[in-house]
Structure 1
């Protein structure tokens, strides 16, 4: 009887290890093409016409967040990204989301307030190696990519990464 219980728990441990390995493999596959090291160039005009350049944001950590208006997972992160943008340097990139007017209407309709570069043709996404959204990059004050994530990230998780990037 004791051996049967031990066997059942051992089988569950193996199943759990396989699930964890599968998830880690999936995460590595999703992130395989993402930019690493020095952050690629990112400059342009925000939806409100304000010029923005990642190079001018040196000195403090930065969150670069790729998202899309059609992405349901991105919608789950929107409020957290908006809140983070009030306290930290943030550039978001609306990937393949239509023209600037459509993206601005989406932001207004959803009560979102974060800086957005529109990327209707995928120019920025290609430069950063982004093929799926949401995708987040946390840069240190020197412009080096310290953390990347594809898929859902919690607000606290992004804030912790920004905090850690300030010490690296």
Structure 2
């Protein structure tokens, strides 16, 4: 009798977990419906360090394109994960409406972040990508296609998993 109750409880918990996952996945799809999909839009810009960034330079590599803002409280929870991820994967970060280059440099220094940043002061790059909020992450595969897009909080392990999937499963 106890075994039946445990099995039933486990089945109910599993179903509830699957339901929650389906709702979270569905909400994310709905929230990102207006953002870029398919072939990744071009990024050709200069970082705060004066380096030219061109999305085409990453052909044949999986990468993360991360849109964030210095005024975004949720971004503060994701930034350190992106900074750590940038040690292992190519990452392009785009600061949306975050002030001057000097203000963004100061923010990076205060937060102890070292990733390269493109300042999208006028929002032109973000608009081209259909960024609907920050933080927003795009995982781009080797062929330059957007494989995953996510708005809001993303964990470091979650971002790494999506990059790993893009790297190991060509037709996901």
Provide TM-score, normalisation by structure 1. Answer: 0.85
Counterpart for residue 128 of structure 1: 129
8 Å Cα contact 2:32-2:132 kept in structure 1:
no
- In structure 2, how many angstroms separate the alpha carbons of the residues matched to 1:77 and 1:85? 12
Pair 1:48 & 2:49 matched: yes
Structure 2, unpaired ranges of 5+: 1-8
Give me the CA root mean square deviation: 2.0
Separation (CA, whole Å) in 2 of partners of 1:23 and 1:144: 23
1:162–1:19 distance in 2 versus 1, CA, 3 Å: closer
Distance 1:85 1:21, change over 3 A: closer
Tell me, what secondary structure is at the counterpart of 1:114? coil
Residue 34 (structure 1) aligns with: 35
Residue 25 of structure 1 and its aligned partner are, at CA, apart by 4.9
Aligned to 1:166: 167
Alignment TM-score, normalising by the size of structure 2: 0.83
Structure-2 residue corresponding to 1:3: none
Shift in Å, 1:32: 1.3
Q: How many residues are aligned here?
A: 156
**Structure 1, residues 103-124: CA drift from partner, whole Å, max 9, x if none?**
1110011110111101011101
What is the 5 A alignment of 1:1-168? 23-167=24-168, 168=170
Distance (whole Å) between structure 1 residues aligned to residue 22 and residue 86 of structure 2: 34
> What displacement does 1:28 show?
2.8
The Cα offsets for residues 81-127 of structure 1, whole Å up to 9 and x where unpaired, read as 00000110000000111111111110011110111101011101100
Measure the CA separation in 2 of the matches of 1:122 and 1:39. 17
1:51–1:20: structure 2 CA closer, same or farther, 3 Å change rule?
A: closer
Report if the CA contact (8 A) 2:39-2:146 is conserved: yes
d(CA) in 1 for partners of 2:31, 2:146: 17
Partners of 1:77 and 1:121 in 2: how far apart? Answer: 23
* SS of residue matched to 1:70: coil
Within 1, Cα distance between the matches of 2:82 and 2:145?
A: 20
